[in-house]
Amino acid sequence: MHYGAIKKCDIANGEGIRTSLFVSGCTNRCKNCFNRETWAFDYGSPFTEKEWQEIFDSFENPVVKGLSLLGGEPMEPENQRALLPFMKEFKRRFPKKDIWLFTGNLYEELTGQLGEHPKCIEVTKELLSLVDIMVDGRFIEEQKRLGLRFRGSENQRIIDMNETRKAGKIVIWSGVKEDKQY
């Protein structure tokens, strides 16, 4: 897997101060995507143990609340396979830190609720079990609205994955109610 950027002290991609990993590779190709360069799977640099450690080191700062995974598309099959061991190690080292996952796919697609989907693979269920908050859905230019928290268009949902697992149905993150009208 390649990545385009690692952003430390990021406040734009999830609640609180975060470290964000922008993976490379995306077949969704949303119209007017803010990060088109990451569509190419070979964009940026290889994601190696050196980058793992760089990210883990950023959590020595106690104010860093969690990890955000975006891109590109973290849920491309090759990215899922590369991210799963990294995420497992992250959760082992930092059990009180959260993981936010931004995907252009729907929760229902990734969990197989809509039938077979090319991005619902052998590691998807385990990977999703490590995610605390998932922002799902493609960016739709016609539904773009400034003032939405942590998403670009109104169709995208911020799903509280821990509450969703408990309830057995999708539970929207409580912070959504803080959206502003612009």
Position 181 pLDDT exceeds 70: no
pLDDT of residue 152: 87
Contact 19, 58 (CB under 8 A): yes
Quick one: DSSP state of residue 27? S
Strand stretches in the chain, DSSP E: 2-10, 17-23, 45-46, 64-71, 98-102, 133-136, 157-160
Instruction: Provide the residue range defining the domain that includes 65.
Output: 2-178
Domain count, the chain: 1
Quick one: DSSP state of residue 139? -
Q: Mean per-residue pLDDT for 24-42?
A: 87
Q: Mean per-residue pLDDT for 19-23?
A: 98
Tokens of 28: 């969704």
pLDDT digits (tens, 9 = 90+) for 122-135: 999 999 999 999 99
pTM for this prediction: 0.93
For strands 64-71 and 98-102, give the pairing: parallel
Position 176 pLDDT exceeds 60: yes
Confidence of residue 87 (pLDDT cuts 50, 70, 90): very high
pLDDT of residue 119: 92
pLDDT of residue 178: 63
Distance between CA atoms of residues 156 and 160, nearest Å: 13
Q: Is 111 exposed, middle or buried (0-12, 13-18, 19+ CB in 10 A)?
A: middle
Confidence of residue 33 (pLDDT cuts 50, 70, 90): confident
Confidence of residue 157 (pLDDT cuts 50, 70, 90): very high
Q: Mean per-residue pLDDT for 93-122?
A: 94
Position 34 pLDDT exceeds 90: no
